[in-house]
Structure 1
Amino acid sequence: MKKFGLLVSSVLLTGALAACSNDSNSEDKALDENKLVIGVTAGPHEQIVEVAKEVAAKDGLEIVIKPFSDYILPNTALAEGDLDANSYQHEPFLNTFNEDHGTDLVPVGKTILNPMGVYSNKYKSMDELPDGATFGLPNDPTNGARALFILEENGLIKIKEDKRETASIYDIEENPKNLKFIELEAAQIPKQLSEVDAAAINTNFALSAGINPKEDSILLESSNSPYVNYIVVRAENKEDPTIQKFVKAYQSEEVKQFIEEEFQGSVLPSWDE
């Protein structure tokens, strides 16, 4: 019995030490000092991070870019540890994602504003839209609300006062033109533009489809929009020096100059605002 008791005690002690060792490793949150994996959506975000990558390389930091074609996977991959950071989203979208998925992702640096635009293959202005016109908007809650805010800001609809931050098509209390809203996947709206009278399209998807927001939109989001984009990381890496090095590279004069020359006002650097 004594030998058995000693054996059990030894096993328990070994297990406890192993647990302590695992706990210690799990608390080691530091990232690689010389390399980061950054998730982006295809289009402007990818192009801009390519420039930031060149700037970071001068400071001894290697950036590996992982492009995505939707808005959910870059956050999922970040939360699961497949990415060290991502650069593609505004804070309202991030807040909604955290709430819906129980994640703790945080913004660490401003990047750009992609002003959402309204486009039409049939009409040259919002005034031309007929009564009962069909209007396409993104089907994700945050960007759908953003599209509705643009319409409200320009007097086309009125949203219920208590639904400002979470507005959906069901929260419209005034719709003088009787617009018929059709919710579509954001990435597919440029391809479906001919099927509706007008639609709200995110800038990255517009540019990818050869649509210039500044020249082709019939309505463009104002510059005082709250939908500025951010570099986002897991909360435990918020103060990581490697992340801060990447933020510095992104918010450099070289990147700002690239944005201004490449996008001609369709994409705006926002970290100096």
Structure 2
Amino acid sequence: MKKLSILIGLILLIFVSAACNEKTDAENNHVKVGIRSSEIKTWEFIKEKAKEEGIDLELVTFSAQVDPNQALADGDIDINAFQHVAYLDTFNTQNHTDIQPIGTTIIAPIGLYSNKFDSIDDIKAGSKIAVPNDPSNWGRALMLLQEYGLITLTDDFDGRGGVDKIKENPKNLEIIPVDGATTPRVMEDTDFAIINNGIALEAGLYLSDAIIHESETAKPFINVIAARNEDKDHPLYKKIVEIYQSEEVSQFIKKNYKGNFIPVQLSLEELATWKEAYSSKK
């Protein structure tokens, strides 16, 4: 009888302990968000604002060699904020995942940079131009070249890059796909390089240094906060989106990034039409 009483007591203790732990986790409101170092200042600011709302943000910084989407899919983080919607779509397609955008953040216009030339007029026949080699940013780079009349893309262009996506190349430009993280370094070996904004910023380059850059309304390249599909309506994550899209955070971004990052508050319904931009660029 005594042993039974002890056993029952132990079981009750386990249940009480589990309930306390669950309550503590809920009260802490702890959220792991995966980011790149280029936006660390913004997220440190957001972390303080979230703290005022009772949310404990843990910032997990990933290098350019690690994809925060994989960490999100594996459950190592709760949300991430580092990518545009076209990149997310490509990742989901290639990896059979279902990561969803839950709110817009910024657009970081991609630009054409050079250590040797200063003008678009310096792009001559046979010029060598390095571009990021992942499909979505390769496509983005080609769209930029088309926007400025340097090439024409195929009629069925779907936003993804490739050597077969160029329909007309009157200057016979040599397009050289390289790892996106290396684009600032390969400027020494090429005439020009199209560099993603965040990587450019890490390399000490500002949008004002770009010879040309994409327009602010390039919808496929609006950055988002993303979550696993089953968590897309999580109220805590929605609150973080709300904080990011606040006027106070927008002013912080404008002041601290000198025009490189442009805050975007776009509804998810409007964002869902992003693929229409591919046909409108032709």
Taking structure 1 as the reference length, what is the TM-score of the superposition? 0.85
1:246 to 236, 240, 244: 240
- Decide whether the 8 Å contact of 1:118 with 1:220 is kept in 2: yes
The equivalent of 1:22 in structure 2 is: none
- Decide whether the 8 Å contact of 2:31 with 2:58 is kept in 1: yes
Counting matched residue pairs gives 242
- Decide whether the 8 Å contact of 2:139 with 2:160 is kept in 1: yes
Kindly indicate whether residue 137 of structure 2 is the aligned counterpart of residue 143 of structure 1. yes
The equivalent of 1:25 in structure 2 is: none
> Deviation above 4 Å: which 4+ runs of structure 1?
30-33
Question: Alpha-carbon deviations, 1:18-72, whole Å to 9, x = none?
Answer: xxxxxxxxxxxx98861100001121x2221111111101001010001111275
Kindly indicate whether residue 63 of structure 2 is the aligned counterpart of residue 75 of structure 1. no
The equivalent of 1:39 in structure 2 is: 34
Measure how far apart 1:190 and its partner are: 0.8
Kindly indicate whether residue 188 of structure 2 is the aligned counterpart of residue 194 of structure 1. yes
CA separation in 2, counterparts of 1:32 and 1:164?
45
Distance change (3 Å), C-alpha of 1:161 and 1:32: farther
Secondary structure of the structure 2 residue equivalent to 1:156: coil
Measure how far apart 1:261 and its partner are: 0.5
CA separation in 2, counterparts of 1:212 and 1:49?
20
Q: Which runs of 5+ in 2 are unaligned?
A: 1-24, 268-282
Secondary structure of the structure 1 residue equivalent to 2:94: helix
The equivalent of 1:204 in structure 2 is: 198
Kindly indicate whether residue 164 of structure 2 is the aligned counterpart of residue 165 of structure 1. no
1:238 counterpart letter in structure 2: K
- Decide whether the 8 Å contact of 2:140 with 2:160 is kept in 1: no
The equivalent of 1:175 in structure 2 is: 169
1:248 counterpart letter in structure 2: E
CA separation in 1, counterparts of 2:184 and 2:36?
16
Kindly indicate whether residue 254 of structure 2 is the aligned counterpart of residue 260 of structure 1. yes
Question: Alpha-carbon deviations, 1:147-172, whole Å to 9, x = none?
Answer: 00000011000010112422422211
CA separation in 1, counterparts of 2:65 and 2:107?
16
CA separation in 2, counterparts of 1:180 and 1:32?
57
1:133 counterpart letter in structure 2: S
Measure how far apart 1:210 and its partner are: 0.6
CA separation in 2, counterparts of 1:245 and 1:127?
47
Measure how far apart 1:249 and its partner are: 1.6
Measure how far apart 1:264 and its partner are: 2.2
The equivalent of 1:225 in structure 2 is: 218
CA separation in 1, counterparts of 2:254 and 2:53?
23
Structure with bigger RCO (C-alpha 8 Å, 6+ apart): 1
Question: Alpha-carbon deviations, 1:80-118, whole Å to 9, x = none?
Answer: 100000001111111110111011100000000000000
With 62-71 and 152-161 compared, the bigger mean Cα shift is at: 62-71
CA separation in 2, counterparts of 1:31 and 1:238?
18
1:153 to 147, 150, 156: 147
Measure how far apart 1:272 and its partner are: 5.6
- Decide whether the 8 Å contact of 1:145 with 1:167 is kept in 2: yes
2:121 to 127, 131, 146: 127
Q: Identical aligned pairs, as a percentage?
A: 39
Measure how far apart 1:252 and its partner are: 1.7
Measure how far apart 1:177 and its partner are: 1.3
